[in-house]
Structure 1
Amino acid sequence: MARQDRHRNVFDIFSSAISSWSGKPVTFVAAVVLIVIWGVTGPFFGFSETWQLVVNTGTTIITFLMVFVLQNSQNRDGEAVQAKLDELILSSQAANEFIGIEKLDEKQLRKLSEDLQRRARALDQEAENV
């Protein structure tokens, strides 16, 4: 189990670094520069199939891998936000029933939302009557 945790931590660290790096303007500029260089070299390679295959294969591989890296980062961010919200709920006078609602299915969430809207309207009416 310890070995598995170590690998998971390495992947988490890797995905965090890649996610952070890929979101920077300099990374976008570097990607544009690479595509421009690739485009400019087209005449030198006679716009061959190999020349086209280089960018097609490269972008496909990068896109495929980035899906997993970014999803890992997004999952961890979502879990962290949920934990922070749960802590705020626990430390306030809010209803503890809201802890863990992210695990409800769509129908249950819709019903909860409708109940909250009814409660909010009732509170608005009470405030108007005061």
Structure 2
Amino acid sequence: MTLTDSGSPVELSTLLVVGVIAAAPDGMASVGQVATALEVAPSTASRLVARAEVNGMIVRAGGGRDARTTSLRLTPQGAALHERGLAFRFARLRAALAAFTADQRHQLADLLTRFADGAAGDGRAP
């Protein structure tokens, strides 16, 4: 199963950039915020943003009071891609978990939470 846009496969990096902007409180983000969220160098984030822009998923807008900054926002096509991406991931998760019992799903959730907490911190188990 592959997520597509107009019949073409969508690159994961484009989906990630779209996700960062969609998650921003006001629906706008800077290249620096994309870099921070994706944990990549600003130059890498700039390339990823340019790719998403060329594909029509985002547009650049003036940064408001600071003319040196540019805000990124989703186009209608980018917002639709974000929604399809969420639906795609949820469908994959539902299919992967279909054979699990409710207890097994709860146990997996607990273990994944512990894993995520450890990965976000110093790596030591709680």
TM range (shorter): 0.3 to 0.5
Larger Rg: 1
Higher helix share: 1
Higher strand share: 2
